[in-house]
Structure formats: structure tokens, C-alpha cells
Structure 1
Amino acid sequence: MPLLKPFGRLFLTIFLPVFLFFNTGFAVAASKVEILHWGDDWSIEVDGQPFELKGAGMGYSDEAGIAILAKAGGNAFRTWGTEHLDVQLAAAERHGLKVLVGLDMQKQLQGFDYNDSAAVAAQLAMLKASIDRYKSHPSLLGWIIANEPNLMIGADGGAVQPNPKVYAAMGDVLDYIHEHDPDHPATVAFAFTGTLADDVNLALKSMPTLDFLSFQAYGALPAIAPLVEELAVELPYMVTEFGPLGHWEMPATQWGREIEEASGAKAAGLVDRMYQAGLNNPEGQLLGGFAFLWGHKQERTPTWYGLFTEDGGRTAAVDELTRLWTGQYSEQRAPSAWGLRLNELQATENIVLAPGESVHARLQASDPEGDSLSIRWQLMHEVQARSHGGHFEAEPDAVRLDAGKTTSVGDVHEMMLRAPLQPGEYRLYAWAQDGSGGVATANFPFLVAAP
């Protein structure tokens, strides 16, 4: 969509809200979203009002999780597809949230062949139908045409550029949006890879009228702004995914298992990187961002990326986002875990145990209000088939835990356990719960090997 460039600070936008019958059958007014450019600054307006983006990537398909986002001070969420979009948009409208909709554009990384013209045409028809279906919803903020289309992995494990036809196909979608839905901007969410600058430049050749850029980075979050400056592109940008240090950014054991940060370190690191990247107070070309993930997700572990645990427990990172969005913490904050050791050793020290060996586990976890914590331990196998690009990954099986009682003194929580009798790769998990919905998490990978 064209950008509005005001003369001085005075500009006038006149439009009449058009009341349409959405697919639900209720009369609604379609939203009008504009990206404004004044001097060195860019901003968003929704229905003529300034919109300061406070977003998260939505992992919930039910209203309860969406309502929690609104209560925490968020005002928008993004999706990665349209499977649950009817429910999500309806909930967003009820709770005053806006939605940046991710379209279901297939990835070359997952095997979609962009040389197959018939498949590409069928995909375009499907995407057009989705755009037509949802373009008039009052909670629509805009469109993500594709998620990480530049994420391609070569034979050596490094990043390589995708087929240029991927971007040509995205250009066709962009053209359709501009023609049939000029009231909502469109973007492409790029993965932060070693070829990112080349990827963006290649994409813009096929999509010169793209409304804004989007980037997805974790440990590399503070590097986005310098990259945008280097690109010298007159476009604003969002950060459509940011979160803890990624599993590819963390050290691994000698047998190749990634070592996850404890939840307290995750929350502290998240805030630090947000400040470094300017997400606490977006200005210039930065429009804001979406924290990953408002929900639960299995990726390398069941606790790595979710801001919530599988049973709905709230981690300290949620409290930090609430503080940044509202200016204050919630009344009841979640506990934080700062480390888990086995036999007083850290996971980076590559713990190898004999079958049945006795092991001492020590968790450091604290609660900001001083609440007593209930500690739950679980032993699991490691993931067998590792996913790429955030796609589906099966949660590993739990293993019977032969353990004694937990003793807690202050912030230290200890127990004795026995290593499994079967050799293999395992991971010990600890959850520290405050009884009010808050939880801290930590885990430790180890190897059991026969003598």
C-alpha cells in the first residue's frame, strides 16, 4: 500500500468506514491501517489513531490464551497461518487486539517446488481466497505473505539462497493484496541468516512495493538495526519474532545436544536484547515487534521457546513483557530459575553417567514475593527427529524417574536420583511452581554409557 507522506506535520486522510458482512454474518467495519512517514520516523495508525505495537506471536487457538495477552498489556498478535483464524480474530475483536495474519505460503525448505507452475498457481488461488475471506475483519492489522522464505540450508549446514521463483510468487500475492485490500499493509518475515542482506535485496526486486520489512532474530536481535542501516532501504520494519537465545546459538554437549538457559536467565536476556534493539521504545524505521511464543511449543525441548508451559504456567519472561507494555509488573510475579547442576557440575561439562549411578541434582530457583516453591522433576529422552525452521517436532517420551524427596533451603532445591539402566541420551527437567500460576524451568542433558 502507498505510504502517506504528510506535508509538514499537517495531513488529512478522509475515508468512510464501509460496513460489510463478514463471514460470521455480523455487520462490522473493516479496519484501515496506515504506515506514516515523517522525517526519520515511521509509525502505525489504525482507524486514524496512533498504534504503538505491543505484540506476541500467538501459540493459542482458544480465547483464554488471547485474553491473557490483553490482560498482560499486549495489543496485537501475529499468526503463522489461517487454520484457527476465525476463532482468533473473533477473540481479538472481543479483547481489543489487532492481528497480523500470516498466510499459508509453503516453504521451499519443507519441499514445496516453486518450479512447479501448476502448484504455484493453485497456491496463489488458495491465498487469494484467504485474503478475500479476512480482509474486512475489524481486527486485521496486516498480512505476512511468507514466514522465513529465505531459510534454506545447504549440504554443509550453512545458509543458501532460495529459488528466485519463491520471491516472484510472493510478488504475485503482494500485488493481489494491494489491488484488493489497500487498507492493510503487507510484509515478508525474513529469518536472520548469514545471507540476509542478499535475501532482502533479491526479494525487493520481485516486490519493490512491499509495505514494510520484517525480521526474526533471537540472540542476533540487536544486530537488526545495523543491518537495516547497511541495507539503506527506505522502508520501516518490524521484528516479527524475538525471544530467548536460539538452540543454534547455545553451546552443545560433546554428543550434540543443545544446552538451554534456565528461565530466569532467559527473561533477563530477553529484556536486555529488547533494550539494545530499541523494542522498549521503537523509533526511526522500527515499528515494534512480536515476542515468541505466547503459548507452549516443543522445539528441542518442551520449555525452550514457550512463554508458558504446556499446562499453562506463566514464566518470568511474561512478567517482563508486562512491565515493558504497561510500565509495571503484574501483582503476582512468576518465580525464576537460575541454574541446574548434576553432581555440582554444569551441563557444559558433559556429564556421562554409568547405568544406575547415584546422582545429586541441585536447582537454584527463587520467587520475587518469597513464596514457597513446589518442585517437580521429570526425566525424558532427547528428541529423535530434530525439526528445522520451527516446524513440527514430536515431544520425546518421558522416562521413569528413580528419585528421592526434594529438600529446599532458601533458593536451593536438591534431590538424589539414579541414572537410567538403559544407555542413551537423557535430559532432566525441573519445574518450580509458586501455586499462583507462575513457574520457573531448567533442564540438564546428560549421557548414560555402559562402562
Structure 2
Amino acid sequence: MNYHLFKRAAKLFTSLLGTTLLLSGCQSSPESIVEKITPLNPASDVVPVRVVRIDSSYQLQRAGKPYVIKGAAGVQHFEKIKEKGGNSVRLYAPAYADVLMDKAHQNGLTVMFGLWMKPPYEKFDYYDPKAVAEQQQEVYRQVQRYKNHPALLMWNLGNELDNHYGDFKVYQIVNETVKMIHKLDPNHPVTTTITDGVYAIPSIIHLCPDIDVLTVNVFNKLAQQPVRLAEAGWKGPYIIGEFGGRGWWEAPLTSWEAPLDQSSSDKAEFMQAGFKMTVQDQSSRCLGAYVLYWGNRFEQTDMWLSMFAPTGEKTPMVDMIQTLWTGQKPANQAPQVGAIRVANKLAQADLALEPNTDYPASVPATDPDGDPLRVEWKITRDVDEFHTLPQNRTAPETIPGAIREAKGLNAVIRTPTERGGYRLHVNVYDGQGSVSNNSFPFFVGVLDTPRLGIHMPQYRRY
């Protein structure tokens, strides 16, 4: 036998033996683990949810009635989810869940509740029975605490556990945990969320048969996802757990590895096409979807995945999701913004500029309602998301004096003196609660050789 295969087999056997011995002891059942945990709500508050198969189709039912998820992922602006026609919110972890669950319920929203499992890429060892048991115990405590909450829609056990990883022992542990969750709470389905890479699906089919529905986070490949799931062998129901514009990790790159942005107007059109093909046209298998990110957070830029500005204005993506949820456009729509030009060149020009030099910049923009527009320009250092863990993300500061002159949709920028990658940002406001934006990466100084030009990332998140 191959030595490495033998070593892995031995490790797996030891892990299974350790897990068996541990679970046969005083902590052998979820009931014994949670017996001192009192649910926040009485059993009478439970609204039962189940996934039902009807012939070759699947349906999510809440309180016995069909329920299609029109959801948003995030912890901000819950009242606007309902206002725009949504009905559900996705939470990723139990942090502040008492407040957030109540807030969701007050706004008439259900909750996909995230039960956090550490991903293997964070060096969590799923062959360590003690560490696994401790993590499972915390999951069971959260289930016991929130299982009767009237806003609870389903449990989401683990987010992107397949990310950066090829050893799927984790899904054996997921299945063990799912079975115990079902025992503790028979009233709500359990899902687990994967990336849009389909390589984990055969392992999930064989190792994780007890999940009720599969959830997938997908951006650039949203329109192709039904075909990709089928080709990988998934025949069951699915939920889209995250979608939006093109992700920074899958965007074309400059020579210095900076991703090319889409305008928020382009992101709105982009997500519309994928939503139709994967959610609306697949209603017999797709139980709904959660758009990301409902609110504002920094990820490559402060607006890359954000559907709202830091100051609360909505983007064209909010207008689009309202249209998709309700079939009606908003009364007042966000501005439409096009591609930025610097020195009369687009971002695809892979632009390297001289330090401490003035260059003209411009962006086209219009407003569907004829509202007067206010334009903000700024330059920041660019960031390297490819080598930054989510918990370490920090928004770079605006470089003072980099915008030499700004007159509406035109500006003069002054490049920094220090060599490196930078990004020009533009936000266009309509004064009616909406904003549209875009960004333009550029390099100051001489590029390293050989010059790659615009290229697709060799790095793959999935």
C-alpha cells in the first residue's frame, strides 16, 4: 500500500475510534449536553418548516404553506428587506443572535441561522475527536437555545467548509451533527453551504445524506449553476446562499494582480440574468436565494459586494432585487454609472502612471428620474484580498490631496509619490437616497517584468 494512503487510513481509523469512545461516555447524547440550556421561547412559538418532495419537485413549506425564500445576507437594514419585498435574512453565526432574531421577527422576516463550524483551512483538525466533540457541543447548545424562536426558518451548519480544502472528512462530521440536530429539533430543516466549486458534491452525497437541502454561494457562475450541480450528481433541492455581482476573487486581474471592478449598474444587470436562470427558472428544485451583502462592509473596496453605501444610500443592486422580488421597479431609481477613464484609458489598459503627476479622470453617469447628481472622488492604496483572512480586513485610508480638482463627472488626480498599486473610486449620488459607484485600479511607477497584461486569476478560491 502507498505509504501516504496508509498513513491517512490509519489517522482516519484512529479518529473514528476516538470519536466512538468519546461519544460512548457521559456526553453520548445531545440531550445530556443541552439539558441545562433553556430555550429562549416556549414550544408554542414554533413555526414548523420542512422540505417536501412532490413527484420530481421540491417545495419548502412553513406552517404547512409553500414558502419561497426571498432573502438577504447581512445584519443591517432589516426593515428595508421587508420594504423591498423580501422575507428572510441569513445570519452566519450566533453572535448577537438574541437581538437579531427578535429584530427579524419584528420585521416579519425568517432567519437562516448559521451554526458555525471552523473551516479546515483555519487549521481545525477534523481528525481530532476531542476538538470535534467540543465544537459539536457548542452547536447543540445554540440549537437548544433558539429552536423555538418563531423567526427560525432553518439551520445552516457550516459555511464553505470545502473552501481551500480537498479532504472531505469534514462532511462525515457534518452528517453526524445534522443527525443530532434533527433529534434535538425535528421542526426545522438543516443545510450546509458550499462554494460554487462542485468537486465536494460527490463526497457530500456519500458522506452527508442527512442534510435536507444543499446551499451554494455563487457569483460569477450563477447562471451556470443548475447545470454544474446536475453534472456533479446533485439531484436534490438547493438554495443560493450568496449571489450578487462578480466576486473580486474571480475578476480579471491587472499585471500587478489587482481585480477589475464592475460598476454597481453592471452588477445589477449581471445578477438579474443569473437569478432568472438559476432561481426563477428552476423553481422545482431551487427553494430561493439570499443576495449578498445587505448593508455595507469592506471587501476589496467598501462597495464591491455592498448593496448600500456606508452612509446608507441604496445601490442599483437594491433596485434590481426589489424588481426580482416583487415584479415592480422602485418609484425612484439609483443613478446609472459607466466605466471610469484615467488619461482617457479604461481599466483594461493595465495602466501604469508616473508618480506625483496630474492625470484627467472621467466617468459617465445618468439618472433615470432626472435627479441632479453629486459626485465624490477618492484614491486609496489597493489591498490584497487574496492573502487576507476575512477577520483581518481593514479599509485603507483616503490619500489626502490626491484629487486635485473635481467638477462633477470629471476630475484631475495627482498620483502618489510612492510606487505601488492604488485605486480610484467614484460614488455618484442622486440626493434621493441612492448611489452608484465604480473603481479603477492603477499602478504608480515601473511595473515588474515580464508584464502580464490583463489576465484571469491563477489562484482559485474554489
TM-score when normalising by structure 2: 0.85
Aligned-pair CA distance for 1:23: 5.1
In structure 1, C-alpha distance between the alignment counterparts of 2:387 and 2:309, rounded to whole Å: 20
Match of 1:360, SS?
A: strand
Q: Could you tell me which residue of structure 1 aligns to residue 113 of structure 2?
A: 101
Amino acid in structure 2 at the alignment position of 1:146: G
Question: Over aligned residue pairs, what C-alpha RMSD do you find?
Answer: 2.0
For structure 2, the 5+ residue unaligned runs are 1-36, 448-462
Task: Give per-residue Cα distances to partners, 1:376-418, cap 9 Å, x unaligned.
Answer: 111101115645685542212221133344334xxxx101121
4+ residue runs over 6 A deviation: none
Q: Could you tell me which residue of structure 1 aligns to residue 149 of structure 2?
A: 137
Amino acid in structure 1 at the alignment position of 2:420: G
Q: Could you tell me which residue of structure 2 aligns to residue 292 of structure 1?
A: 292
In structure 2, C-alpha distance between the alignment counterparts of 1:119 and 1:30, rounded to whole Å: 32
Aligned-pair CA distance for 1:276: 2.3
In structure 2, C-alpha distance between the alignment counterparts of 1:385 and 1:228, rounded to whole Å: 28
Alignment partner of 1:424 is 2:420: yes
Q: Could you tell me which residue of structure 2 aligns to residue 447 of structure 1?
A: 443
Alignment partner of 1:39 is 2:51: no
Q: Could you tell me which residue of structure 2 aligns to residue 161 of structure 1?
A: 166
Summarize the Cα distance change of 1:389–1:285 in structure 2 as closer, same or farther, 3 Å threshold.
farther
Q: Could you tell me which residue of structure 2 aligns to residue 316 of structure 1?
A: 316
In structure 2, C-alpha distance between the alignment counterparts of 1:376 and 1:28, rounded to whole Å: 52
* Structure 1 segment 346-365 matched on structure 2, within 5 A: 346-365=346-365
Count of residues in Structure 1 that have an aligned counterpart in Structure 2: 411
Aligned-pair CA distance for 1:428: 0.8
| 2:181 corresponds to which of 177, 181, 194 | 177
In structure 1, C-alpha distance between the alignment counterparts of 2:358 and 2:43, rounded to whole Å: 66
Alignment identity in percent? 28
Task: Give per-residue Cα distances to partners, 1:323-359, cap 9 Å, x unaligned.
Answer: 1111212222111211111011011111111112111
Contact 1:235 1:285 in 2 (8 A): yes
Contact 1:28 1:137 in 2 (8 A): no
Match of 1:339, SS?
A: coil
In structure 2, C-alpha distance between the alignment counterparts of 1:303 and 1:387, rounded to whole Å: 19
Q: Could you tell me which residue of structure 1 aligns to residue 138 of structure 2?
A: 126
Match of 1:268, SS?
A: helix
Match of 2:204, SS?
A: helix
Match of 1:109, SS?
A: helix
* Structure 1 segment 374-385 matched on structure 2, within 5 A: 374-384=374-384
Q: Could you tell me which residue of structure 2 aligns to residue 212 of structure 1?
A: 213
Contact 2:92 2:114 in 1 (8 A): yes
Contact 2:42 2:148 in 1 (8 A): no
In structure 1, C-alpha distance between the alignment counterparts of 2:73 and 2:416, rounded to whole Å: 37
Aligned-pair CA distance for 1:26: 7.5
Amino acid in structure 1 at the alignment position of 2:230: E
Aligned-pair CA distance for 1:98: 0.6
Contact 2:41 2:148 in 1 (8 A): no
In structure 2, C-alpha distance between the alignment counterparts of 1:131 and 1:111, rounded to whole Å: 25
Match of 1:177, SS?
A: helix
Amino acid in structure 2 at the alignment position of 1:377: W
Q: Could you tell me which residue of structure 2 aligns to residue 54 of structure 1?
A: 70
Aligned-pair CA distance for 1:116: 2.2
Contact 2:40 2:145 in 1 (8 A): no
Summarize the Cα distance change of 1:291–1:128 in structure 2 as closer, same or farther, 3 Å threshold.
same
Match of 1:284, SS?
A: coil
In structure 2, C-alpha distance between the alignment counterparts of 1:25 and 1:49, rounded to whole Å: 22
In structure 2, C-alpha distance between the alignment counterparts of 1:387 and 1:46, rounded to whole Å: 41
In structure 1, C-alpha distance between the alignment counterparts of 2:215 and 2:43, rounded to whole Å: 32
In structure 2, C-alpha distance between the alignment counterparts of 1:59 and 1:353, rounded to whole Å: 40
